[in-house]
DNA sequence: AAGTGAAGCAACCGCCGAACC
DNA sequence: GGGTTCGGCGGTTGCTTCACT
């Protein structure tokens, strides 16, 4: 095992930035002779560089098919989604982005996307809501309501009543914004739905984050068939929140056609093996088409909009477009499930949501 | 205009696994 | 079978540019 370095300090080979002359030597040599042994190339091309340096310069910069310029929103979205599945496998991510190099994607991730996710309150490693923030503890103190002291018709997001806030103006401002969102949701609510959610539950649409954060991981129907639909994109999201250990970015429970009842959830907890056959391992080869279908689909693709950019823009689009009823339906069923589990979970979800808003 | 720190990014480093001898 | 070579990968460095004071 092991190898001797192809270039070291005593070899006298040049290091550091490449000059235009060196680029020209390397490019013209490869154009004339093609790619061969990198070790032999520098001498043959008249370069005082090691083969490794030449290979890096060619693959990351000089290669003619390299795409230049800023990453598009579509590329950003693709990188985030791929990263949620593949992790720091930059070369594998790059394989899905024609013209982009692993080095470029890695740099872009470290300088832009990673920070972007952090600002959204998302852990860039796990792609789940951050739990490493003091704000989580702070927020849990902010939301002092409990299932015991919350009546069934109380709105836990009523700042004037049940929500006891610390005198933090910034947090208040954020919560006020959230209140506004809920008002929008309420006033635009379609009353023609048939679900059994109590009327007052509409006002506690706090677990909006159920649909926002986990969808960072949600690739829709990741088992790879062509029936990627809005409902399938949502299906596993509640599990992410109710019990994150159930769902990973590589698993998809295809048996759930609708939001589970509490009984279903408990059964799921008690006997996961009964559902194990329904799990399918992610087929990475199918990722591009899946992501494309989720990105381009006009049926439910809006669920992914918040990932691309401003949260409020995404939310506004969700509420304005033709699929908003689906979205509201999801919110309400999510609330119902949390309601069944006890309102303490709502506070947890609320905290996560607030983090995402920071 | 000059100084300073942050951000961006090209390039390097060290390790690994496959292929080769 | 074991050592060597090579290409490739992910992590890291350090130079350059940018933004701010």
Q: Is the pLDDT of residue A179 over 50?
A: no
| Higher-pLDDT residue of A308, A333 | A333
The predicted pLDDT at position A33 comes to: 83
Q: Is the CB of A37 under 7 A from strand C?
A: yes
Residue A180, class by beta-carbon neighbours within 10 Å (0-12 exposed, 13-18 middle, 19+ buried)?
A: exposed
- Å separating the CA of residue A273 from the C1' of nucleotide B3: 65
Q: Is the pLDDT of residue A185 over 60?
A: no
Query: Which nucleotide is closest, CA of A16 to its C1'?
Result: B11
- Å separating the CA of residue A136 from the C1' of nucleotide C14: 36
Instruction: Count CB-CB contacts under 10 A for residue A344.
Output: 15
How many angstroms separate the CA atoms of A333 and A126, rounded? Answer: 26
Q: Is the CB of A111 under 7 A from strand C?
A: no
Mean pLDDT of A194-211: 26
The predicted pLDDT at position A353 comes to: 40
Query: Which nucleotide is closest, CA of A61 to its C1'?
Result: B10
- Å separating the CA of residue A165 from the C1' of nucleotide B9: 44
Which strand C bases fall within 7 angstroms of a protein CB? Answer: 3-12, 15-16
In tens, the pLDDT along A292-303 reads 443 333 332 222
The predicted pLDDT at position A7 comes to: 53
The predicted pLDDT at position A129 comes to: 56
Mean pLDDT of A17-28: 86
Which strand B bases fall within 7 angstroms of a protein CB? Answer: 7-14, 16-18
Which CATH fold topology does A20-62 show?
Arc Repressor Mutant, subunit A (1.10.10)
| Higher-pLDDT residue of A332, A148 | A332
Of A179-183, A192-196, A242-246, give the range with the top mean pLDDT.
A179-183
A20-62 shares its CATH topology with A73-119? yes
The predicted pLDDT at position A25 comes to: 87
| All structural domains of chain A with their residue ranges | 20-62, 73-119, 129-358
At how many degrees (to 10) do helices A287-296 and A73-86 cross?
Answer: 130
Q: Is the CB of A91 under 7 A from strand C?
A: yes
pLDDT band at A119 (very low <50, low <70, confident <90, very high): low
How many angstroms separate the CA atoms of A63 and A355, rounded? Answer: 42
pLDDT band at A91 (very low <50, low <70, confident <90, very high): confident
- Å separating the CA of residue A50 from the C1' of nucleotide B15: 18
Average pLDDT, chain A: 49
Q: What is the pTM of this model?
A: 0.48
Mean pLDDT of A19-39: 85
Query: Which nucleotide is closest, CA of A94 to its C1'?
Result: C9
Q: Is the CB of A88 under 7 A from strand C?
A: yes
Which CATH fold topology does A73-119 show?
Arc Repressor Mutant, subunit A (1.10.10)
- Å separating the CA of residue A1 from the C1' of nucleotide C2: 9
Mean pLDDT of A182-191: 33
């Amino acid at each position: 095992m092991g190898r001797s370095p192809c270039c070291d300090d005593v070899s006298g080979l040049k290091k550091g930035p490449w000059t235009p002359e060196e680029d020209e030597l390397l490019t013209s040599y490869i154009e004339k002779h093609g790619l061969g042994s990198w070790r032999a190339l520098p001498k043959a091309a008249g370069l005082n560089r090691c083969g490794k340096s030449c290979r890096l310069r060619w693959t990351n910069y000089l290669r003619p098919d390299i795409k230049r310029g800023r990453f598009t929103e579509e590329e950003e979205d693709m990188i985030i989604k791929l990263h949620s599945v593949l992790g720091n496998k930059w070369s594998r991510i790059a394989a899905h982005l024609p013209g982009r190099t692993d080095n470029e994607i890695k740099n872009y991730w470290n300088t832009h996307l990673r920070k972007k996710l952090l600002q959204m309150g998302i852990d860039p490693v796990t792609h789940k809501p951050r739990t490493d923030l003091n704000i989580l503890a702070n927020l849990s103190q902010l939301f002092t309501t409990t299932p015991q002291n919350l009546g069934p018709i109380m709105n836990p997001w009523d700042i004037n009543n049940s929500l006891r806030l610390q005198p933090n103006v910034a947090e208040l401002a954020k919560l006020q914004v959230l209140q506004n969102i809920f008002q929008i949701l309420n006033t635009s609510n379609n009353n023609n739905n048939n679900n059994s959610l109590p009327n007052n539950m509409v006002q506690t649409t706090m677990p909006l984050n159920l649909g926002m954060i986990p969808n960072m991981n949600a690739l829709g129907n990741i088992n790879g068939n062509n029936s990627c639909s809005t409902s399938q994109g949502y299906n596993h999201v509640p599990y992410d929140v109710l019990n994150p250990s159930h769902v990973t970015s590589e698993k998809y429970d295809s048996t759930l056609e609708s939001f589970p009842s509490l009984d279903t959830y408990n059964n799921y907890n008690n006997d996961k093996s009964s559902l194990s056959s329904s799990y399918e391992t992610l087929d990475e080869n199918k990722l591009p088409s899946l992501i494309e279908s989720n990105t381009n689909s006009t049926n439910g693709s809006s669920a992914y909009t918040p990932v691309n950019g401003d949260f409020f823009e995404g939310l506004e689009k969700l509420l304005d477009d033709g699929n908003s009823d689906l979205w509201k339906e999801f919110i309400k069923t999510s609330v119902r499930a949390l309601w069944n589990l006890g309102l303490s979970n709502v506070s947890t979800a609320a905290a996560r949501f607030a983090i995402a808003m920071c």
